């Protein structure tokens, strides 16, 4: 595969962040870090018990400083340098891709670094120590400061940047998925769209996901071990 001649789109899921020590969004028991999803990741939960939801996300925001990008993140950053065109979509809300050197990342499900004004809908990057305390935070955009909520796409809300995502996939040559369970839509359905657009589809995942049959090429195991080898092979093929 001569990557220097190809438009490449990559979708990453929770599996790539898990290798850096971040827990996946749900374990096999249907819990999200020991909380039922309904308690911490829906608009109804925020209305019903904002203190619980806020505390949960503040804990996750503080955890960002405790983890680092892993070899899979850096392999994708290297791939971005060599590809003719590179576009990264992530289901993850952490900033590990950015910290590995990829600054243009599209977050489908929002970002932990950001908070959103409940009144205006404007987002602010708020990661100073005072922003990570237990108390609610308030915006800087309104004349009378309004409460901020996590800038996260909760269950029942529309994922972000979908028009841009579909446009990029429609014109890509290769669509690579790393660390995605194939459970969460619309992300799990993007491979179908890529296939319809005649893209080559490649999967790197710890285990076989539900939608593995949609991929032309599959690799099962640690992304941190598999991706660096694959990227180096693709770079070597491009130089021949």
The answer to whether the beta carbons of residues 11 and 187 sit under 8 Å apart is yes
Query: What's the Cα-to-Cα distance from 25 to each of 94, 106, 221, rounded to whole Å?
Result: 12, 18, 19
The answer to whether the beta carbons of residues 226 and 21 sit under 8 Å apart is no
The answer to whether the beta carbons of residues 207 and 219 sit under 8 Å apart is no
Q: Does 109 participate in catalysis according to the annotation?
A: yes
Q: Which of 35, 107, 109, 219 is catalytic?
A: 109
Active site positions, annotated: 109
């Amino acid at each position: 595969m001569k990557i220097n001649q190809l438009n490449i789109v990559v979708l990453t899921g929770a599996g790539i962040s898990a290798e850096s020590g971040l827990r996946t969004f749900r374990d096999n028991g249907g819990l999200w870090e020991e909380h039922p999803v309904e308690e911490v990741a829906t608009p109804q939960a925020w209305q019903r018990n904002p203190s619980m939801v806020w505390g949960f996300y503040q804990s996750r925001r503080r955890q960002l400083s405790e983890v680092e990008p892993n070899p899979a993140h850096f392999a994708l950053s290297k791939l971005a340098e060599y590809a003719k065109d590179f576009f990264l979509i992530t289901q993850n809300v952490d900033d590990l891709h950015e910290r590995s050197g990829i600054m243009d990342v599209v977050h489908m499900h929002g970002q932990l670094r950001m908070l959103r004004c409940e009144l205006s809908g404007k987002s602010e990057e708020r990661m100073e120590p005072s922003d990570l305390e237990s108390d609610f935070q308030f915006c800087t955009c309104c004349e009378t400061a309004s409460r901020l909520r996590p800038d996260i796409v909760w269950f029942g809300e529309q994922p972000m940047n979908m028009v841009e995502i579909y446009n990029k996939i429609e014109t890509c040559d290769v669509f690579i998925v790393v660390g995605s369970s194939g459970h969460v839509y619309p992300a799990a359905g993007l491979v179908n769209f890529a296939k319809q657009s005649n893209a080559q589809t490649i999967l790197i995942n710890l285990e076989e996901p539900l939608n593995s049959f949609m991929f032309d090429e599959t690799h099962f195991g640690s992304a941190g071990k598999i991706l660096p080898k694959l990227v180096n092979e693709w770079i070597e093929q491009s130089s021949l």
